[in-house]
Structure 1
Amino acid sequence: MIVNQQSLRGIFTGFKTIFAKAFDQSKTLWDRVATKVPSEAGEESYKWLGMIPRMREWIGDRQIQNLSASDYTIKNKDFELTIGVDRNDIEDDKVGLYTPAIQDIGQSAVTFPDDLVFTLLKNGFVNKCYDGQPFFSDAHKVGKKTVSNKGDKKLSPTSYGAARSSMMSLTDENGKSLKLIPDLLVVAPNEEANGRKILLADEIDGTTNIYKDTAELLVVPELAGADTQWYLLCTSRPLKPLIYQERKAPQFVAMVNDADTNVFMKKQFLYGVDGRANAGYGFWQMAYGSTGEKE
């Protein structure tokens, strides 16, 4: 193949089509636990995170619900993935060899939020959320009360039931129910069988399983390494427990000008994807996490 701008444009168009197809066909998990929030700046402030507002009977004047102010901010980060295509491979009509690599770029671009979101979940026992406490903590303040959304028991019907009861019993600072019903159990791969037993089995150890179908199970490969941890989430609200903030969606780009340094010095044409985004924590009330350290 003669290498000129016309042929390079054709290669770019072909690669972009392959990228787009892989991007569209790849499945993600992050959107099961996080809400996508568009961003228009280098960082976004979530001052409104705090008290969950509730409707009330209108008696007298309106009561303005001043949302609890916080200084929780999510700063966008830059992400990229780039490969080099050797000029000789183009001249020798071996461009097709790069198809799997371009497909992998497409898949990586659409699934990289999984890494961001589930790393946050895994580190939620240490990383702080809007109230200055770790996302999973036994020291959250609700009015004058101290509330916990953190456990240490291994996943079992008993610990699952306790977590479910704890979430459903949460109230606001006025003692009114938050009406949270957990609907998603999130586990690492090694706890899949245990999670399926709790949520799908008719009986457990000869006893009727009262927790059958009380939530869906989500098995997350990215949680491998934190094998004993497990999480119970309420994902039915407009704002899910975690936030995926997107400033610029992944874009397929290239450097294919003969004057580019990479072409002149290394005879490589560069193709890749870049984007701007980050992830953070939403309402801790919508999540319960256990370290699974104890029986």
Structure 2
Amino acid sequence: EEYRWLGAMPGLREWLGDRAVKDLSEDAFVIKNKDFEATVAVDRNDIEDDNIGIYAPLFSQLGENAKQHPDELIFTMIKDGFTATGFDGQYFFDIDHPNGNLTNWSNKGTSVLTAASYETARQTLMSYVNEDGRPLRLVPSHLIVPPQLEKEGLDIVRADLTGNGDSNVWQNSSDIVVAPELSANPTYWFLACLKKPVKPFIMQMRQEPRFVSLDNPDDENVFMRKEFIYGVDYRGAVGYGLPHLMYGSTGGA
């Protein structure tokens, strides 16, 4: 599907003369849908002899995996954002995003996660402006970290006191999300504004997950191989949205 509005964030102005129309075709960005599936085959005798519900959890897990899969795709996009391009042709996390005739802007850092670098990330997000130079009014809402940085993240946004015994001014300044999918990049961390109608990532769900089965006696797999087949599938895609809404740091990696 085509998203023509990603670069269009005009602010309101006094209406003098004709409306100032923003051409949405300037920043068209296409996200193609994909098919996803998971399938298992079980011997018919095993199902018929399953008196204690051994296979019920398997089928439940198929459904759970389908629900979680879009989140897995999103977290993969987050960690790949330093080398994957977004709608403006730049890496999603980059130091020189274009902004019309204004100075290029950055949503990429290299500092390790500390209270000081967290403060810098907040200031950076909250300082972004649109092509007219007007503030986007972004307030960070979520700190996203791998399991290896859970303690550091909790110390910053949950602790009452700092390591020096001072009051922690950043307590409850954002929610923390610990993502196992980021564990392969133990120094990466991210700060995002996720409370706007527009998000830094697009979840394009074309068909909701559905459970399907081939367990009728007339199905070929049952008739020829006495095999029941169960699966789950859905159709959709994820893509990069507005990079203004997320700051990423490699943590020195």
TM-score (norm 1): 0.81
Structure 1, residues 49-107: CA drift from partner, whole Å, max 9, x if none? Answer: 10312111222332223336224211111111112221112443548221110111121
What is residue 34 of structure 2 aligned with on the other side? 77
5 Å-filtered alignment, 1:211-250, equals 211-250=170-209
What is residue 159 of structure 1 aligned with on the other side? 117
Q: What is the count of residue pairs matched by the alignment?
A: 251
What SS does the corresponding residue of 1:113 show, helix, strand or coil? helix
Following superposition, the deviation at residue 173 of structure 1 comes to: 1.9
What SS does the corresponding residue of 1:100 show, helix, strand or coil? helix
CA contact (8 A) 2:221 2:227 kept: yes
Following superposition, the deviation at residue 227 of structure 1 comes to: 1.0
What SS does the corresponding residue of 1:293 show, helix, strand or coil? coil
Question: What RMSD over aligned residues (CA atoms) do the two structures have, in Å?
Answer: 1.6
What SS does the corresponding residue of 2:35 show, helix, strand or coil? strand
What is residue 50 of structure 1 aligned with on the other side? 7
5 Å-filtered alignment, 1:95-134, equals 96-134=53-91
Gaps of 5+ in 1: 1-43
What SS does the corresponding residue of 1:97 show, helix, strand or coil? coil
Query: Relative to total residues, which structure has the larger helix share, 1 or 2?
Result: 1
What is residue 216 of structure 2 aligned with on the other side? 257
What is residue 64 of structure 1 aligned with on the other side? 21
Following superposition, the deviation at residue 172 of structure 1 comes to: 1.4
Equivalent of residue 192 in structure 1, options 150, 155, 165: 150
Moved more, 224-233 or 82-91: 82-91
TM-score (norm 2): 0.93
What is residue 203 of structure 1 aligned with on the other side? 161
Following superposition, the deviation at residue 214 of structure 1 comes to: 1.3
Moved more, 148-157 or 73-82: 73-82
Instruction: Say if 2:226 is the partner of 1:267.
Output: yes
In structure 1, how many angstroms separate the alpha carbons of the residues matched to 2:127 and 2:50? 65
CA contact (8 A) 1:45 1:72 kept: yes
What SS does the corresponding residue of 2:54 show, helix, strand or coil? helix
Instruction: Specify the code of the residue in structure 2 equivalent to 1:186.
Output: I
Moved more, 49-58 or 261-270: 261-270
CA contact (8 A) 1:49 1:68 kept: no
In structure 2, how many angstroms separate the alpha carbons of the residues matched to 1:255 and 1:174? 58
What SS does the corresponding residue of 1:48 show, helix, strand or coil? coil
Gaps of 5+ in 2: none
CA contact (8 A) 1:199 1:214 kept: yes
In structure 2, how many angstroms separate the alpha carbons of the residues matched to 1:175 and 1:169? 10
